[in-house]
Amino acid sequence: MAYGQDFDMKDYIRKRMLEIMERNDRELFKETVGDILSAIYDYNRQAYEGLEQRVLEECSPNQYRYAVSISMTDRQHYDETDRFLYPMRPEDIKEVKLSCQDIKTAFAEENRLRLYTVFIQGTATQVRQLLRQEERTFNGIIKTAKREYKASFSLRQNTDYIQMIEELYAVFGANFQPWSTVCTAYLSKLADVYLCSSEKLRDNEEIDRIQIDFEEYSGLVRYGMIPLWNLRPLTEKTSTYPNPCIDKINYEHQFFAQRLNPDCGYLVRDTEAEITNIRRLNGDLYITCPIERPCEWRLYEVHQGTGREKYPYPVLSNQYKESFSGSITEMFRRSIKTKAEMGRLIESFDYGDYLTFDGFELCTEISQECRDANYNMDSFLTDELRTGDAGQLLLIRFMARDPANYLNEDIMSFLVTQVQRIFPDYRCAGCII
């Protein structure tokens, strides 16, 4: 007999009991067999559910507790009370004011002066084509209260935020956590504006505004943007005097649960420390290292959203879908041999509103247009092993839900980067058909 999900052991025993005609035998069956089987069945079910829950807890926390989410907002819509996303650089909250003296000093030292960072709300191809023109200058004016000065400006790729992702990779390694590619779609669209030249500014004038004509890209440039992520930097001191470990070398630094957020994961940012173990027990955080005295630790508090938060720009995350299959996909990565298995990997990320997987093919060359639409979001990984022929190329095809969405090529690059981790024998690229 097959016991399905809706199988009721007590009802089954009751039916079998009614088949016994003798009353005494029926009472004996009920007291001995019926009660014992029911108790055993209840115990086995509870044990199975507990085992299932432990398996899920074993794979889910690492998957969700340390997922990184990134979004954008402008200064006017930034909410300091938000407890999910925080500025990647706290100094971005304040607008930088330039003075005429700053400009004069930069020109006297024959340096280009970085003014501010802008967000280019275009496709990956448009951004790459723009930033590739390193020698291109744009005309503009520097306005003061008294007059206007003609000036020229240039754009350069901003690397500050990508550098923070690279540093985060080292943090994950120091915390013994597996690295999962961060979706850096917004960060790749940030550019620094430099002042190249200007008319000679007069003394004792304050700059009111700098206006630049970005020509055909003017409609894509956004000012005063703040990159956000769900990592809040903080500093915590060891709660008690460190306990010596049995190896007589290391000490265990404890942080009481009362000082920590139970819904957050914690990453130690002190990558230079010789950390041998990090664990969480009953809400307390334990760091094992050779430091024998209480000290301050720099941490990242990793927050997760409730789904009710609203932001001007969509939140992009490297989190798998909240399902058992998504957890297993993260835990047990294995080689992909079929179209269905690759589709399952791609669909395990919650980007179905942008792209859907269509298939793949092996080829030796791709067009320049396709090459411009792709970039590796793990490009800073220099210790990655490659065993295949560099001439072999795996082209992954996608279909766009909304062909006009400027994030399509970036989401494609994120998904292709995930596939590239599974296929080190090929150079992977994507195309939207």
Domain borders along the chain are 9-65, 69-229, 234-302, 321-432
Residue 407 tokens read as: 């994030």
pLDDT for 8 equals 72
Residue recorded with tokens 């709300």: 121
pLDDT for 54 equals 62
- Asked if residues 241 and 294 have their Cβ atoms less than 8 Å apart, the reply is yes
pLDDT for 403 equals 95
Look up residue 71 and give its amino acid: S
Residue 267 tokens read as: 């990453």
pLDDT for 417 equals 94
- pLDDT digits (tens), the chain, 433 positions: 444 456 677 777 777 777 878 878 777 877 777 677 778 888 888 888 877 776 665 555 455 689 999 999 999 899 999 999 999 999 999 988 888 888 888 887 777 789 999 999 999 999 999 999 988 999 999 998 888 999 999 999 999 999 999 999 999 999 999 899 999 999 999 999 999 988 888 877 888 899 999 999 999 999 999 999 999 999 999 988 999 998 889 999 999 999 999 989 999 999 898 999 998 888 899 999 999 999 999 999 999 988 788 899 999 999 887 555 555 555 555 556 678 888 888 888 989 999 999 999 888 888 888 989 999 999 888 766 665 555 688 999 999 999 999 999 999 999 999 998 888 888 899 999 8
Instruction: Give the other-Cβ count within 10 Å of 55's Cβ.
Output: 14
- What distance lies between CA 66 and its chain's CA centroid? 8
The DSSP string of 196-242 is EEEPPPPTT-BEEEEEE--GGGGGGEE-SEEEEESEEEEEEE-SSPP
Distance between CA atoms of residues 294 and 253, nearest Å: 7
Residue recorded with tokens 């030249």: 197
DSSP 338: S
pLDDT for 2 equals 46
Please tell me the number of Cα atoms within 13 Å of 134 on its side-chain side.
3
